[in-house]
Amino acid sequence: MIGLTGDRKGRNYVSIASIPCLSLTNVVDFLYTFLQEGNAMLPKDPMLLLSVVNTKLRDEYESLEALCEDLGEDEEELKARLAAVGFDYQPQLRQFR
């Protein structure tokens, strides 16, 4: 089961335990739902980050600037993180490729 838990200091973190069939699709679906529920954090893994950001740009935001502003992320830092693994932002498509 994938779930959100907390520690004694009140911090939230994602717990993945007893998962009979973990797939990338399950993880991305969970992260997408987690972010939709107002948890403003993006995954550290670059491939998960790419998937979540492109999905949010497609479904929820008109621009990368709006997404970053809403999630409290630095736009240039986000671009640099994804550029480091070969993905550049394409504003006309509203996605990283």
Contacts of 87 (CB under 8 A, 6+ apart): 46, 50, 96, 97
* pLDDT higher at 91 or 24: 91
Q: What is the pLDDT of residue 19?
A: 52
3-state secondary structure of 44: coil
Helices (H), the chain: 24-36, 46-59, 64-71, 75-83
Whether the per-residue pLDDT at 20 is higher than 80: the answer is: no
Domain boundaries, the chain: 24-96
Rounded mean pLDDT, 19-46: 71
Whether the per-residue pLDDT at 4 is higher than 80: the answer is: no
Quote the pTM value. 0.61
Rounded mean pLDDT, 28-55: 80
Residues in the chain: 97
Mean pLDDT across the chain? 81
Rounded mean pLDDT, 21-41: 67
Q: What is the pLDDT of residue 23?
A: 74
Rounded mean pLDDT, 38-46: 77
Q: How far is it, in rounded angstroms, from Cα 19 to Cα 28?
A: 15
Q: Are strands 89-90 and 95-96 parallel, antiparallel or unpaired?
A: antiparallel
